[in-house]
Chain A
């Protein structure tokens, strides 16, 4: 019966006519316009400006400042709560100083946001109009939330001393919580606009016309992976910028007290940055996995060809981050004379971190001349070739994290001796946990990485990460029990660190800054000649993928502008402190 219906030519003609009618009817009813199809003439050229570079730099500056001002209140709230719980005023003072630094950055963030909006309106009016038609409600909500964010931030900052003690402190903490909530929602909205351009949803796939549900447009395929990635990265980044501030103040301090204060502040910031840095590779890993899941082509574009070499640059930057963090911890051991017990181990940790860095740095395919390729017998080196693929990278990053945690563990015990009766056994168990964890990670990386089916190669990363987590958590638990009531043998003398240790904090901040710029370029660049992937083409004269060198130049220019503004903010807060002190 069905077949006869379909085969009936008369019916088919009727059906088509009806369908065409329905389509016409649907078009009449269509509430939303399709995505515009642009030509090069639709992109205004104003005053010889390169619109792409201008928007790129302004967007990047906005993102750096926004990441900083969103992250600082998160850990300020935590530090303030710690201060309240421990009744240690130092924490409260430090939290206040952190938020003070972010105040000036907050207005710069808003200025950059405004500049970005105007740049888009001027240089990409059709794209902006299209995005506005899709995100009208969330953009309006964003504007109102920005008021809420400003109001809660100002009350939080200016009411710090007014809302001190007892119930008032609870009120202050609640305002801090509101501030963080509003800030996070703001970021989620902005993330939706960005991820929509990569993995559009909620629009007519044929025309790009809005289908009516803004939630569908917001809740696109890559939204949540990017949300997680940015929250974690913001914390690490915020910690590193505050660390740079502490280092700046430390280097300019004349008194011992000030040096001690800013040394402690730098140490705390470093711990915050590391706390964000450790889970960051895994959040990034999830994001890339989801990009592959959304579009294999986009995944190949991301991880193959010229973009693959950007990940070698990423390895350089992450290597710089880990080495800076470890170097800072090693220098910090000098705060206590008890460190002599551990300094002999540092060279081995350093060797392991450098080895892991080199593994991460090893490219999968080598750039060789044909003569070299022939001499090598292929693109992969006999021994080094396997280090270029994912299982080796996963192994390296997990061991690098464990080694960094080992540096931290040693640092924590430089000034004390455990007095519990089972201290030796506890240390032996900890050593066994470290050795077992590393052994398991290597086994998983080597066995599943090279001797099993391809499907297991990536899957083995999960037990590897679990091993790292077990090492960290188990060691922390044993440590906290073992060093409860420990005897202090050589007190930590805050401020007693070499000036070069502070440059490790600057390296951390600048590496993070540059890394964020680079990764932002990659995320945006994989769309190639699309404003909105597969929906709205970029037909401007700039619809080409820049080389790494070109991107590096733009990111460097933006980073230099950012650093100049940040140093200006540090200086501003310095003169403000002087005025307060004079009063």
Chain B
């Protein structure tokens, strides 16, 4: 039996070593991967570390002769399609964006937009499939993204540290988006908008669209993050004045629960969670009380959202800042 055991073990070892060899061969072919760095400085070198490490940019982009990814545009000089490196290419792309939007784009603005809103400009022949790099699991911070922009500029273009650190109006909005996402635990505001449209817009107004049962959220970004977070998690603890829950009981023992939208000598008007308005004449009111233990916003709202949905919608909320 010992001989049989020996044969079997050798066979099994040979098999797993073949598998291991395949793993090594694939690693060699794909160029391996560098360790993610810790904190990096806002320098081209810091950006390079992020590009080839934590940012995982190399999984889709090559840089000229470096890397083997082809899913997304090569960011170096590569064949007829990309005769200019990304640093230089960004300058002509900025002009294209300026023509498209009428806004004064700079090369830095274009690169910032590529990272903050990659779908804004799709290179011909490629798809809108870039991951949101400032959302989990990649979760780059604004600091790290600035470093990547400098690295990209260093590829044939002018490294403009000042423009990166003192953003233009265009880049400022994009920075705000990334910061909002980071502050909200790394949420993706793009997906947050979808969640908002699916779950919140029936009750809340946003830029003139939506329901009136809850407060207008067009300026939600001016509220503290903690307040926004609590408003969703425990709405009863953070009710905006004017949106308290009222219970009106009539003399024939019917009840209406909702927001009190009118209260005068004639009677009261209650806006229910369903959107219906109930008007009760003063003479018919048996009791009118405020229920401080309840909010019209569902207490179990969070149960319908995943953690990711929540962070995404929070990031979207933080971006809602109307100009006064």
Interface range, B side: 35 or more
Q: Are A23 and B238 in contact (CB under 8 A)?
A: yes
Q: Are A556 and B19 in contact (CB under 8 A)?
A: yes
- A199 contact set on B, CB distance < 8 A: 306-308
Q: In the bound complex, how far is the Cα of B18 from the Cα of A559, in angstroms?
A: 13
Q: Are A549 and B70 in contact (CB under 8 A)?
A: no
Q: In the bound complex, how far is the Cα of B186 from the Cα of A367, in angstroms?
A: 32
- B286 contacts chain A at the CB level, 8 A cutoff: no
Q: In the bound complex, how far is the Cα of B79 from the Cα of A370, in angstroms?
A: 8
Q: In the bound complex, how far is the Cα of B240 from the Cα of A492, in angstroms?
A: 81
Q: In the bound complex, how far is the Cα of B73 from the Cα of A304, in angstroms?
A: 15
- A545 contacts chain B at the CB level, 8 A cutoff: yes
- B233 contact set on A, CB distance < 8 A: 204, 211
On chain A, the number of residues with a Cβ less than 8 Å from chain B's Cβ atoms is 90
Q: In the bound complex, how far is the Cα of B184 from the Cα of A295, in angstroms?
A: 16
- Given A295-B136, A300-B129, is A313 in contact with B307 using a C-beta cutoff of 8 Å? no
- B186 contact set on A, CB distance < 8 A: 534
Q: Are A549 and B16 in contact (CB under 8 A)?
A: no
- Given A5-B242, A552-B23, is A252 in contact with B4 using a C-beta cutoff of 8 Å? yes
Q: Are A511 and B20 in contact (CB under 8 A)?
A: no
Q: Are A526 and B137 in contact (CB under 8 A)?
A: yes
- A230 contacts chain B at the CB level, 8 A cutoff: no
- A514 contact set on B, CB distance < 8 A: 15-16, 19
- A535 contacts chain B at the CB level, 8 A cutoff: yes
Shortest distance in angstroms between A34's beta carbon and chain B's nearest beta carbon?
A: 12
Query: In chain A between 130 and 177, which residues have their CB closer than 8 angstroms to a CB of chain B?
Result: none
Q: In the bound complex, how far is the Cα of B307 from the Cα of A316, in angstroms?
A: 36
Which residue of chain B has the shortest Cβ distance to A371 in the bound complex? B65
Which residue of chain B has the shortest Cβ distance to A221 in the bound complex? B306
- A501 contacts chain B at the CB level, 8 A cutoff: no
Which residue of chain A has the shortest Cβ distance to B14 in the bound complex? A510
- A526 contact set on B, CB distance < 8 A: 137
Q: In the bound complex, how far is the Cα of B12 from the Cα of A522, in angstroms?
A: 23
- B323 contacts chain A at the CB level, 8 A cutoff: no
Q: In the bound complex, how far is the Cα of B53 from the Cα of A547, in angstroms?
A: 12
Q: Are A510 and B307 in contact (CB under 8 A)?
A: no
Cβ 8 A contact of B308, one of A2, A18, A534: A534
Cβ 8 A contact of B311, one of A14, A205, A527, A556: A205
Stretch at the interface among B104-112, B149-157, B163-171, B219-227: B219-227
Shortest distance in angstroms between B194's beta carbon and chain A's nearest beta carbon?
A: 11
Question: What are 22 A-B pairs with beta-carbon distances under 8 A?
Answer: A2-B205, A2-B215, A25-B237, A200-B307, A205-B314, A206-B226, A206-B314, A252-B1, A297-B132, A304-B60, A304-B71, A306-B33, A313-B19, A313-B23, A313-B26, A510-B16, A529-B36, A529-B137, A534-B185, A548-B27, A550-B27, A567-B9
Q: Report which A residues bind B (CB closer than 8 A).
A: 1-3, 5-6, 11, 14-16, 18-20, 22-23, 25-26, 199-201, 203-206, 211, 216, 221, 247-248, 251-252, 294-298, 300-301, 304-306, 309-310, 312-313, 316-317, 365-370, 373-374, 378-379, 503, 506-507, 510-511, 514, 526-530, 533-535, 543-553, 555-556, 559-560, 563-564, 567, 571, 574
Top 4 closest pairs, chain A to chain B, by CB: A305-B59, A552-B23, A549-B27, A379-B70
Q: Report which B residues bind A (CB closer than 8 A).
A: 1, 4-5, 7-9, 11-13, 15-17, 19-20, 22-24, 26-33, 35-36, 53-54, 56, 58-60, 62, 64-65, 68-71, 78-79, 129, 131-132, 135-139, 184-186, 188, 191, 205, 212, 215-216, 219, 223-227, 229-231, 233-234, 237-238, 240-242, 261-262, 302-303, 306-308, 310-311, 314
